[in-house]
């Protein structure tokens, strides 16, 4: 199978401060990678570099483009890169307000990506939006309501629908469940797991919550002070952590 | 300066058409660029004019840059030649150029307008100059200039369609009534200036050159003759224009844009052509409005 | 039938005549002379020159007279005249360290070389209406000092600069200084363009913005390092000579605000500047301008722009009162074509709503 994403020696520095350093990994289609670490460990910087929101200081992020094959995303022109991020990729933000257009209806939020790539049939756009609202368990009667009137969990599910509507092959998620009640978290995680496996989407999920990665991630990367200190299959890393820091992390959250 | 000024023109101590020749050249360069890239907003060094911003300073500068002594100028505001803004601008050019002016659309080589396109079809060789208050059609969706320029550059117009989607979702149809956005030559989304959407179809494939000037916002843009101008819509909710049940009370026209005139304070109203020249021509040709027919009867 | 389509031209002519009559007021009252305005309403003239970007006391006085004392209108008149003037060149930068001072104060030092020079100011007056003035009372004379003021006094910012405590003020690069009256502004705007736009900006707008930074909307800890008023020589290099010659002297007000800067990973802590400069005596404007100049530097100094006064596009696109006044007042122009379009649309929307409303709904159809 072809690699979907190939990251090599990725480094981001801010002046003298290091965001993340020398990160390398491969991601295959349909694979879910969890990145864990405490706040300040560099995991969000890494995610922003991977998802073309932040230009790295060194290293490459190569993506398997549908036509060109593996291509460094920073060698693409800005239009190509922007097109990639809004069609073949999805980005689910920690705060739904950053990922949604709060001033337009739920239907428009889901439909926007379709319209951005040229959909011009109102009825079809609406049908598709309804379909996706159903998939993320939002009552289609709410299609014309503003996201502001939604609960936190609904907003996150709407954000997911908005991203998945163009059938991306790769989705980045930044702490998608933090800030939600425990029961709401569980439902959202369940939904993400179902959608990701049913649609075969590859995922990079950043979280400080080991419970989230245990449920969703096939593989795990543990970050500390900008460095990857340990990586491997999720169960392996969590059940038999090698690095002292990972051991500390695991022991501090048990039981999952 | 190597400018050739037309001689014997009463210009009241100012240069022909008020602007100095350097400035006119700068504006003409902007116009040429605008014509070369239909619908693209070209920044230009807009000058302070002896007319307040928002009152047609952009249109005046465009007209001043292209007007010549041989031109015949028509100025309209709201379709009429005799409204305050039109009178002011016409007298400005009479004073500073001495060119012939007309109220007849057919006779004009240059038509400066605010908010309307004449009903009489334009022809080759004519130039329309539009006064534009807010040239950026994406401004209401994105206030930042840096971001809107990027959206135009990359033709990222999804958000514009989102606005139309919202209209249909909430009202059952697109609710923009004037300044209805268009796509020019299949590329740039453009503000047609605050003309009623009734006038939008007249821009499409017009034989006349159409120039747009926004003085305060310092932008010029253009539609060359015979260029496609499409009003944004959805396949299943196509663009449509206003219709009236009645006809013009003066000339009986049913195909022109009608203004509503309130005749008393109990809801009485009549409709008359907004284009006064068109209306007058029809009356001269013997057409009658409903009121006159009643009287005759 | 009432149809207002003709007669605009004559009505406009008559309106102009009425305006002229009202400007003159009661002919029994003596007419103001430009000299009177220049001498006795000198601060109005100063403001009109500053925001009109043209140093000409007589024309500014004429503008004030013609505008019936409406200063924004007067600024507009002066600007419209200014655009028609040919450019024959650009003056050398003013050497404000060498200006002949009439007023110079610093809030950061108790005393400094040259001393604090209070000069003419409202600062120490009691704001009591002076009824003697109403009666054309005699003007008390100021006493002449025994010694003249020092010819040149160092600027406070230069004094700080010797210790490296304040950022040096150096040109951004080799490119020529821009001209916002000739070229459209682009964003992010460089400091030359920003300072020009602020100097032309509306005093009231900048005052309120500057004030907002003091109240915490983009706080930047200002100190009035120095405010100086006086006369400075204007120099110009004619091409045929190749060296500068003095072509005149103008009155200016200069304000340097000193602001704390925490420093960053790459730079040690130091003071930064906000700069204000006006024609004539416009102290409030110069101070407000300096505050806003500093707040607009947020981004280049690595501060996160959050407040309105730190938002370049917001400040620079809305600071110009000629633009703002024109666009606000253009709402007086006829808009009936657009309004008609809206009428048709609103009626249609109401019809749709009425048709959708099921019987029994308390949707009320308006009386048509």
Residue C284 maps to a domain = yes
* Domains held by chain C: number: 2
Assess if residue C5 is contained within a domain. Answer: no
Give B292's pLDDT tier (boundaries 50, 70, 90). Answer: low
Among C319, C342, C361, the domain boundary falls at: C319
pLDDT per residue as tens digits for the range B70-86 = 999 999 999 999 888 89
CB proximity A79 to B under 8 Å: yes
Query: Where is A106: in which H helix or E strand?
Result: helix A106-116
* Pair C103, C196 in one domain: yes
* Closest residue in chain C to residue B15, using alpha carbons only: C84
Evaluate if residue B171 carries a pLDDT over 90: no
In a domain, C111, yes or no: yes
Question: By CA distance, what is C266's nearest residue in A?
Answer: A15
Indicate the helix (H) or strand (E) that contains A194: helix A182-199
| Residue C340 in domain | no
Question: Which residues of B are annotated as catalytic?
Answer: 39, 248, 251, 273, 279
The SS3 call for residue A221 is strand
Out of A33-42, B169-178, C158-167, pick the least confident: C158-167
Kindly state whether residues C33 and C155 are assigned to the same domain: no
Whether A99 contacts A110, CB under 8 Å: no
Q: Are residues C66 and C105 in the same domain?
A: no
Cis status, amide bond into C188, omega within 30 of 0: yes
If one compares C314 and C360, the residue with the highest pLDDT of the two is C314
| CB-CB under 8 Å, A15 with C264 | yes
| Residues of A with Cβ-Cβ distance to B158 under 8 angstroms | 112-113, 115-117
Q: What is the pLDDT of residues A146-179, one digit of tens each?
A: 999 999 999 999 999 999 999 999 999 999 888 7
C139 occurs within a structural domain = no
Q: Do C66 and C191 have their domain in common?
A: no
- Residue B151 CB contacts under 8 Å (≥ 6 apart), including other chains: B138, B142, B157, B159
Looking at chain A, the whole-number percentage of residues with pLDDT higher than 90 is: 64
C192 and C295 in one domain? Answer: yes
Residue B11 confidence (pLDDT): 54
Does residue C357 sit within a domain? no
Residues C56, C111 within the same domain: no
For residues A146 and C364, give the distance between their C-alpha atoms in angstroms, rounded to a whole number.
Answer: 26
The predicted pLDDT at position A51 comes to 94
Q: What is the pLDDT of residues A93-132, one digit of tens each?
A: 999 888 999 989 999 999 999 999 889 999 999 999 999 9
* pLDDT surpassing 80 at residue B120: yes
pLDDT at B6 (0 to 100)? 46
Q: What is the pLDDT of residues B42-53, one digit of tens each?
A: 999 999 898 888
Looking at residue B268, what is its pLDDT?
84
What share of chain A has pLDDT > 70, as a percent? Answer: 98
Mean pLDDT of C114-126: 89
Residue at which a domain ends, from C303, C319, C335 = C319
Establish if C208 belongs to a structural domain. Answer: yes
Q: Quick one: C155 and C102 in the same domain? A: yes
Contacts of A111 in chain B (CB under 8 A): 162, 165
Mean pLDDT over residues B184-198, rounded? 96
Of B7-11, B20-24, B41-45, minimum mean pLDDT range: B7-11
- C107 and C67, same structural domain? no
Same domain, yes or no: C160 and C267: yes
Question: In terms of domains, do C286 and C200 share one?
Answer: yes
Tell me, what's the pLDDT at C366? 41
Q: Given pLDDT bands bounded at 50, 70 and 90, which one contains residue C364?
A: very low
Asked if A3 and A49 count as a contact pair (C-beta separation under 8 A), the reply is no
DSSP B178: B
Query: How many CA atoms within 13 Å lie on the side-chain side of C353?
Result: 14
**How many CB pairs below 8 Å do chains A and C form together?**
7
Q: What is the mean pLDDT of chain C?
A: 88
Do C240 and C270 have their domain in common? yes
pLDDT of residue A208 exceeding 60, the answer is yes
* Least trusted range by pLDDT, from B25-39, C176-190, C305-319: C176-190
Q: Are strands C245-261 and C222-236 parallel, antiparallel or unpaired?
A: antiparallel
Average pLDDT, chain B: 90
Tally the C-alpha atoms within 13 A of residue B171's C-alpha that lie toward its C-beta. 17
**Each residue's pLDDT tens digit, B132-162:** 999 999 987 888 888 899 999 999 998 899 9
User: B294 pLDDT exceeds 60?
Assistant: no
- Mean pLDDT for B266-275 is 88
- The predicted pLDDT at position C1 comes to 36
Distance CA B162, CA A113 (A): 9
In whole angstroms, give the CA distance from residue A35 to residue A42.
10
**Gap from A17 CA to chain C (nearest CA, Å):** 8
Q: Would you say residue C135 lies in a domain?
A: no
Q: What is the pLDDT of residues A63-96, one digit of tens each?
A: 999 888 999 999 999 889 988 998 999 999 999 8
DSSP state of C113: T
- Which one is predicted more confidently, C73 or C108? C73
Here the tokens at position C204 are 């009231």
- Whether residues C158 and C259 share a domain: the answer is yes
Alpha-carbon gap, residue C214 to C200, rounded angstroms = 22
Determine contact: A13 vs chain C, CB below 8 A: no
> Which of C319, C336, C356 represents a domain boundary (last residue)?
C319
Residue B175 has its nearest CB partner, among C82, C335, C349, at C349
Top-confidence range, B119-123, B142-146, C261-265: B119-123
Per-residue confidence (pLDDT) for residue C84, from 0 to 100: 84
Range of the domain at C279: 96-120+149-168+184-319
Q: What is the chain C residue with the closest CA to B216?
A: C323
Between chains, do C84 and B267 touch, taking CB under 8 Å as contact?
A: no
Name the DSSP class of B149: H
Answer yes or no: is pLDDT of B5 > 50: no
pLDDT range class, residue C7, cuts 50, 70, 90:
low
Give Cα separations from C11 to B82, C21, C76 (angstroms).
11, 15, 24
Q: In this structure, are strands B100-101 and B182-184 parallel, antiparallel, or unpaired? A: unpaired
pLDDT digits (tens, 9 = 90+) for C191-232: 999 999 999 999 999 999 999 998 889 877 789 999 999 999
Q: Which chain C residues contact residue A15 at CB under 8 A?
A: 264-266
Choosing among A81, A107, A112, A120, which should be mutated to test the B contact, i.e. which has the most B CBs within 10 A? A120
- Cα B217 from Cα B194, distance rounded (Å): 15
- The answer to whether residue A16 neighbours chain C at the CB level (below 8 Å) is yes
Residue A241 preceded by cis peptide, ω within 30: no
Inspect the interface and report whether the beta carbons of B162 and A111 lie closer than 8 Å: yes
Per DSSP, what are the bridge partners of residue A63?
A5, A71
Phi, psi for A219 (deg, rounded to 5): -125, 160
How does residue C9 score in pLDDT terms, banded at 50, 70 and 90? Answer: confident
């Amino acid at each position: 199978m072809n690699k979907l994403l190939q990251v090599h020696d990725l480094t981001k520095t801010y002046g003298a401060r290091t965001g993340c350093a020398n990160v390398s990994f491969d991601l295959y289609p349909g694979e879910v990678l969890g990145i864990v670490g405490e706040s300040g460990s560099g995991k969000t910087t890494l995610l922003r570099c991977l998802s073309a929101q932040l230009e790295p200081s060194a290293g490459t992020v190569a993506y398997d483009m549908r036509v060109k094959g593996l291509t460094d995303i920073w060698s693409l022109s800005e239009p190509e890169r922007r097109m990639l991020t809004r069609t073949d990729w999805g980005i689910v933000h920690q705060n739904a307000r950053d990922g949604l257009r709060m001033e337009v209806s739920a239907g428009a939020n889901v439909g926007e990506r379709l319209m951005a790539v040229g959909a011009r049939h109102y009825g079809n756009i609406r049908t598709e939006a309804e379909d996706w609202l159903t998939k993320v368990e939002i009552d289609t009667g709410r299609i014309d309501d503003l996201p502001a009137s939604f609960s936190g969990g609904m907003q996150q599910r709407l954000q997911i629908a908005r991203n998945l509507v163009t059938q991306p092959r790769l989705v980045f998620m930044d702490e998608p469940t933090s800030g939600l009640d425990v029961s709401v978290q569980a439902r959202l995680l369940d939904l993400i797991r179902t959608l990701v496996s049913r649609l075969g989407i590859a995922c990079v999920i950043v979280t400080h919550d080991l419970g989230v990665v245990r449920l969703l991630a096939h593989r795990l990367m543990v970050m500390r002070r900008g460095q990857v200190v340990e990586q491997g299959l999720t169960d392996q890393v969590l059940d038999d952590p090698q690095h002292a820091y990972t051991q500390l992390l695991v022991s501090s959250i048990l039981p999952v | 300066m190597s400018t050739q000024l037309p001689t014997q023109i009463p210009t009241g101590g100012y240069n022909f058409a008020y602007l100095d020749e350097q400035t006119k050249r700068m504006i003409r360069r902007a116009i040429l660029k605008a014509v070369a890239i239909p619908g693209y907003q070209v920044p230009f060094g807009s000058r302070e004019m002896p007319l307040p911003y928002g009152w047609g300073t952009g249109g005046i500068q465009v007209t001043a840059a292209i007007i010549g002594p041989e031109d015949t100028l028509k100025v309209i505001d709201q379709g009429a030649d005799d409204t305050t803004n039109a009178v002011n601008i016409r007298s400005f050019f009479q004073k500073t150029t001495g060119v012939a002016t007309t109220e007849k659309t057919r006779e004009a080589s240059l038509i400066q307008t605010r908010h309307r396109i004449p009903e009489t079809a334009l022809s080759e060789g004519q130039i329309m100059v539009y006064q534009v208050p807010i040239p950026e059609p994406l401004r209401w969706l994105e206030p930042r200039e840096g971001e809107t320029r990027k959206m135009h550059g990359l033709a990222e117009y999804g958000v514009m369609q989102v606005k139309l989607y919202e209209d249909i979702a909430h009202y059952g149809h697109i609710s923009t009534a004037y300044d209805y956005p268009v796509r020019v030559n299949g590329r740039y989304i453009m503000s047609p200036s605050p003309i009623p959407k009734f006038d939008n179809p007249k821009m499409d494939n017009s034989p006349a050159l159409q120039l747009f000037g926004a003085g305060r916002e310092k932008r010029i843009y253009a539609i060359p003759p015979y260029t496609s101008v499409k009003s944004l819509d959805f396949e299943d909710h196509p663009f449509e224009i206003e219709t009236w049940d009645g006809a013009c009370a003066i000339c009986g026209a049913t195909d022109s844009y009608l203004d509503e005139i309130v005749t008393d304070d109990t809801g009485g109203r009549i409709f008359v052509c907004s284009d006064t020249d068109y209306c007058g021509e029809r009356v001269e040709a013997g057409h009658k409005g409903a009121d006159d027919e009643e009287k005759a009867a | 039938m009432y149809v207002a389509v003709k007669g605009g031209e004559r009505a406009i002519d008559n309106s102009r005549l009425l305006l002229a009559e009202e400007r003159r007021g009661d002919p029994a009252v003596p007419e103001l002379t430009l000299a009177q305005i220049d001498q006795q309403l000198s601060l109005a003239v100063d403001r009109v020159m500053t925001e009109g970007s043209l140093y000409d006391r007589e024309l500014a006085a004429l503008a004030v007279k013609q505008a019936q004392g409406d200063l924004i209108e007067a600024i507009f008149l002066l600007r419209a005249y200014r655009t028609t003037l040919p450019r024959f060149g650009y003056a050398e930068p003013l050497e404000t360290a060498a200006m002949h001072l009439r007023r110079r104060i610093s809030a950061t030092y108790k005393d400094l070389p040259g001393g604090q020079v209070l000069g003419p100011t409202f600062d120490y007056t009691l704001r009591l209406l002076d009824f003697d003035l109403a009666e054309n009372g005699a003007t008390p004379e100021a006493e002449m000092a025994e010694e003249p003021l020092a010819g040149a006094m160092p600027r406070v910012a230069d004094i700080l600069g010797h210790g490296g405590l304040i950022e040096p003020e150096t040109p951004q690069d080799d490119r020529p200084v821009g001209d916002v009256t000739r070229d459209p502004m682009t964003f992010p705007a460089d400091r030359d363009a920003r300072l020009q736009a602020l100097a032309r900006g509306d005093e009231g707008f900048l005052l309120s913005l500057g004030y907002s930074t003091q109240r915490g909307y983009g706080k930047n800890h200002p100190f009035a390092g120095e405010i100086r008023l006086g006369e400075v020589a204007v120099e110009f290099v004619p091409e045929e000579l190749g060296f500068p010659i003095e072509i005149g002297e103008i009155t200016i007000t200069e304000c340097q605000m000193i602001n704390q800067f925490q420093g960053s990973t790459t730079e040690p802590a130091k003071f930064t500047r906000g700069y204000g400069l006006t024609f004539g005596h416009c102290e409030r404007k110069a101070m407000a301008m300096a505050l806003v100049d500093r707040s607009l530097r947020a981004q280049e100094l690595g501060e996160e722009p959050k407040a309105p006064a730190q938002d370049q596009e917001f400040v620079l696109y809305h600071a110009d009162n000629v633009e703002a006044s024109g666009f606000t007042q253009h709402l007086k122009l006829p808009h009936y074509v657009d309004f008609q379009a809206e009428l048709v649309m609103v009626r249609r929307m109401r019809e749709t709503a009425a048709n959708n409303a099921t019987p029994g709904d308390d949707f009320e159809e308006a009386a048509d």
